[in-house]
Amino acid sequence: MSVEGYAAMRAAERAMPVPVTTCPCCGQAVLNDITVAQRAFAAAELVYGVSERAVRGHARDRDAVKARALVVWALRQVGPGLSYEAIGRMLGGRDASTMTYAHTKAIRFRFEDPAFARACRAIALSQEDGHADG
């Protein structure tokens, strides 16, 4: 992908709003990366048939790659914006550059794969409905 193409995808991605929930009691943002991760793993299994264990593992088939990209996208966009290093540790000790690449793929998948885009929306909307305790 060209630099211009990547820049255009990133700009389009930033233009897509991801809801941030606020607590009705205290008004603070409600973002819980564990809850987001759980929802992302559940969506990955539902949409792609890939278990959490497989997402954390080293499978490289198309469904595992898309499922992993979905989790990375959710942790960066819906969750508290975890670093690529932190996401890599959560996903089996992967390198930050690998997670950066997975996030780039996720952005592309949102535009090219309607099922992936629906899963992203579902994760974002489910986070909007949830309130993390503690």
Which domain CATH number covers 52?
Answer: 1.10.1750.10
Residue 102 lies in a domain: yes
Residue 1 lies in a domain: no
pLDDT digits 0-9 by tens, 93-106: 999 999 999 999 99
Question: What is residue 10's predicted lDDT score, i.e. its pLDDT?
Answer: 54
Tokens 């690449």 belong to residue: 101
Number of domains in the chain: 1
Output b/e per residue, 43-64; b: 16+ Cβ within 10 A: bbeebbebebebbbeebeeeeb
Residue 93 lies in a domain: yes
Report how far apart, in Å, the C-alpha atoms of 31 and of each of 37, 53, 66, 95 are: 11, 24, 23, 24
Residue 81 lies in a domain: yes
Question: What is residue 37's predicted lDDT score, i.e. its pLDDT?
Answer: 86
State the pTM of this model: 0.72
Residue 113 lies in a domain: yes
Question: What is residue 36's predicted lDDT score, i.e. its pLDDT?
Answer: 85
Structure tokens at 133: 């305790």
Residue 25 lies in a domain: no
Are the CB atoms for 128 and 21 separated by under 8 Å? yes
Residue 134 lies in a domain: no
Locate the DSSP E strands across 1-134.
Answer: none
Q: How many helices (H) and strands (E) does the chain have?
A: 7, 0
Instruction: Output the tens digit of pLDDT for each of the chain's 134 residues.
Output: 565 665 665 555 555 444 445 555 665 554 445 578 888 999 999 999 999 999 999 999 999 999 999 999 999 999 778 899 999 999 999 999 999 999 999 999 999 999 999 999 999 888 776 544 33
Task: Find the largest Cα–Cα distance for the chain.
Answer: 46
Task: Indicate the helix (H) or strand (E) that contains 125.
Answer: helix 114-129
pLDDT digits 0-9 by tens, 35-57: 788 889 999 999 999 999 999 99
Instruction: Classify 67 as helix, strand or coil.
Output: helix
Range of the structural domain that residue 60 is part of: 32-129
